[in-house]
Amino acid sequence: MSSPAAVWRPVVTEVLRERVGAGESIWLPIRGRSMRPLLGPGARIFVTPPARVRFGDLLAYEREGALVCHRVIGRRGAARLTRADHRGAGPEVVAAAQIVGVVAAFERDGVAVDLFTPRRRVLATLAAARSLAAAACLALRRRAWPRA
């Protein structure tokens, strides 16, 4: 028998996709460690409709029925190349149909941070460049780069 989370996760993800697709922005709690040190347990993200997806943005997308938040480090046609901020993670190709929204802000320890300020855009671009370089080094070691 499937766990309740496995059964409900795709349903909740679809509801979130519909709400953001209708133009709503939503605060969502974060689970997991993939975006540490920026985001961790107890943090929340503010997901907005994806009008424009840029290098360095945090992208909320659907993967196997779950909602995932990773940084955009490249483009493969209409697809985006994303990667978690933590070390050791490989890049992942995200099709346009998987994209739910873009993270416009986050809240950690009761403090909200707007990710679209000029300073935060520069920091996001630097984080994405560092992540892209790390992904390239990882791919060279493994002799593999994700395909669209």
pLDDT, averaged across the chain: 88
Residue 139 has pLDDT above 90, yes or no: no
**Alpha-helical regions (H) of the chain:** 4-21, 118-142
Q: What percent of the chain has pLDDT over 90?
A: 55
Q: Tens digit of pLDDT for each residue in 75-116?
A: 988 899 999 988 767 889 999 999 999 999 999 999 999 999
**Residue 147's pLDDT band (cuts 50, 70, 90):** low
- Give the model's pLDDT for residue 2: 63
Cβ neighbour number for residue 110 with a 10 Å cutoff: 6
Range 18-30 average pLDDT: 92
In Å, what is the CA distance from 87 to each residue of 29, 37, 38, 73, 124? Answer: 22, 11, 13, 14, 16
Q: Which residues contact 148 (CB under 8 A, 6 or more apart)?
A: 76, 77, 79, 93, 95
Binned at pLDDT 50, 70 and 90, residue 146 comes out as low
Q: What is the mean pLDDT of residues 68-77?
A: 93
Half-sphere exposure for 59 (CA within 13 Å, toward CB): 32
